[in-house]
Amino acid sequence: MEDKRSFDEFMEDIIELLKDKQYRKTREELLEYNAADIGEVLEEVKDEVGLDTTIIVFRMLPKDISVEVFSYLPVEDQIEIINGITDREIDYIIDELDFDDKIDVLEDLPANVVDKILAKTPKNERHQINTFLNYPENCAGALMTPDYISLKKSMTVKDALEHIKAVGMDSETIYTCYVKDDTRKLRGIVSLRTLVISEGDVKISELMHDDFVSINVYEDQEEVYEQFRKYGYLAIPVTDNEERLVGIITIDDIFDVIEEETTEDIERMAGVVDDSSAEYLDTPVMKHVRNRLPWLFFLMLSYILTGAIIAHFEAGLQAVICLVTYMPMLMGTGGNSGSQSATLVIRSLGVGDLDLKDSARVLWKEFRVSFTIGVCLSAFTFARVMIEQRNDPNQMLIALTVCAAMLAIVVVAKCVGGMLPMLAKRIGIDPALMASPMIASLTDMVSVTTYFFLATVILGI
């Protein structure tokens, strides 16, 4: 039996077929895979065979599959395809897309293209689309879809199942149904499983749960993610300020939110300010420069203060020149210690394990952890300094200075690293901003100041 080729091998075969202009064979090969895989192939081969060839391949796909493939493509590729196909093809794709995918596409298309599409859209749908497009970015309203199963309390199970059969194909999910009253207010939810195993003449009002969880349409997307994580639902209803049901958010939309929030936190923890969603290689060089330079410039200025502290103790350093030898170790250990604590606290704040009320407990825990770690590192450092400075008449005092500084620096760095994210959250700043670069800068200043202060006290420099 012939071994099934890997996806990378399949990709290479597709590229070779396209270079040889064997489009029919390419189409046959692609249709052996699902829409998500085809989308990945089109995204990857564009750099190898060019945009024009990629559009040709897209247009050769069956209409229903092309719509699915389109929904899996990055926004940049979607716009390029929109610009390369006919108005009729555009209308078909937009019309067949799921509503939430349609909104995502329209949000990123040029205004003149959007106007052209909306002009051909039925009035009711056009009004609905405009409503969704006007929701603030990154709120629940921008994530939701209006395609859900709506039931009435007066319905019987038989009526409900017939209704689901009639409209289910156009709904985002049929596993959870939402019960509304005549004013469109959400009154309860009932699962498909409950309906299937219940008798046909039972009323929906007897089966529905009124202890449901819902989200306000203007809730931030990070809070939406927290609700999904906490309750483990596949979908959560979205209501407006009058508690009217306006849509639902499904778990697949939350995957995108998780990726966005994780990417944003990683960038901020690295001192990168990026307000775009473009991929790394697609981002221009000058855009990378603008994203990174301001934060690095700010942190560079902070080291001026560190240099001023060192210059202040220049005379003492000349008297006990060996103190300079241990500065990199102390500063590096302080930065690493603070970054460890900051990373753990930021992560705990992000997943909801910590809240502002836990600040005192965090400080107490970090103090105990840092003291224990500081003692261990100081003991090792003491032995090292005693060996290295065995010929110096101030051997013991130097060792005590370095070890005392090590203990103090680790304790202060870990406590600062643990508390800065809490402080940031309290004043409304993203805790991720208080991560590695800023912690390193602060702990360097603390390390130098602590080190020379102790040297002044113990060695009298």
What are the tens digits of pLDDT across the range 275-302? 555 565 666 777 766 766 666 666 666 6
156: confidence class by pLDDT, cuts 50, 70, 90? very high
Model pLDDT, residue 306: 65
* pTM given for the model: 0.57
Backbone angles phi, psi at 218, to 5 degrees: -100, 10
Q: Specify the range with the lowest mean pLDDT, choosing from 175-179, 224-228, 319-323.
A: 319-323
- pLDDT band for position 76 (50/70/90)? confident
Taking residues 97-117, what's their average pLDDT?
77
Q: Which two tokens stand for residue 275?
A: 């307000």
* Pairs from 111-116 (Cβ < 8 Å, separation ≥ 24): 113/82, 116/87
> How high is the pLDDT of residue 2?
46
pLDDT for residue 431: 72
Into which CATH architecture does domain 7-134 fall?
Alpha Horseshoe (1.25)
- Lowest pLDDT segment from 75-89, 196-210, 297-311, 379-393: 297-311
Query: Which residues, including other chains, have CB under 8 Å from residue 50's CB and lie 6 or more apart?
Result: none
Pick the more confident residue, 349 or 195.
Answer: 195
> Where in the chain are the domains?
7-134, 150-250, 285-459
pLDDT at 1: 39
pLDDT digits (tens, 9 = 90+) for 235-246: 899 998 888 999
Residue 95 to residue 102: CA distance in whole angstroms? 8
Per CATH, which fold does 150-250 belong to?
CBS-domain (3.10.580)
pLDDT over threshold 60, residue 308: yes
Are the beta carbons of 109 and 82 closer than 8 angstroms? yes
Residue 46 has pLDDT above 90, yes or no: no
Which pLDDT value is given to residue 370? 92
- pLDDT in the model for residue 307: 67
Residue-by-residue DSSP string for 148-159: --EEETT-BHHH
CA distance 69 to 367: 53
CATH of domain 285-459: 1.10.357.20
Average pLDDT, the chain: 82
- Minimum mean pLDDT among 52-56, 273-277, 454-458: which range? 273-277
**Is the pLDDT score of 32 beyond 60?**
yes
Instruction: Give 47 or 299, the one with higher predicted confidence.
Output: 47
188: β partners: 179
Alpha carbon 47 to chain centroid distance? 27
